[in-house]
A = this chain, B = another copy of it.
Amino acid sequence: MFTINPTDPAPIWRQIEEGIRRLIALGALTPGAAVPSVRDLARDLRVNPNTVARAYQRLTEGGVLIVKRGEGTYVADQPAQPRKAERNEALREAAMRYASSAIAIGAEIDAAVEELESAYDRVVRNHRRRA
């Protein structure tokens, strides 16, 4: 599905949460589709089941996933998207972090944009390849 980066300062449960959201945004996970069981995904990612459960729980609270207890977890019929204002703010903060890092490294904006486009391509290609 996706990978976990242990060196990333972001908590693993957040990486999983974002990974699921990304797959839905990319269309790799469609409404009603079954999501891997907590134990399966934990084994795949080599992570503790509790960590996966925490991510799933947050996604369920957020209206992205639907849990059928004893049966499994599924993508909601209409996966909830953050409000426009929240999306803009989240994007702005993410851009700010990237810009700060890039400038600290000594990268010009052109290089930063180019690398960003490459990254976008890579994520989309990676998705299509595994799909």
Please state the number of chain copies in the assembly. Answer: 2
> Which residues of chain B come closer than 8 Å to A102, judged between CB atoms?
91, 94, 120
A–B Cβ pairs within 8 angstroms, 17 of them: A9-B14, A18-B104, A22-B100, A25-B104, A25-B106, A81-B106, A91-B101, A91-B105, A91-B107, A91-B111, A94-B97, A96-B119, A97-B97, A98-B98, A99-B120, A99-B123, A112-B116
A94 touches B98 (CB 8 A): yes
CB distance from A118 to the nearest CB of B (A): 7
Contact with B along A78-115 (1 / 0, CB 8 A): 00011000010011101111111111111101011101
Query: What's the dominant secondary structure at chain A's contact region?
Result: helix
Interface membership of A26, Cβ < 8 A? yes
Interface membership of A36, Cβ < 8 A? no
B109 touches A95 (CB 8 A): no
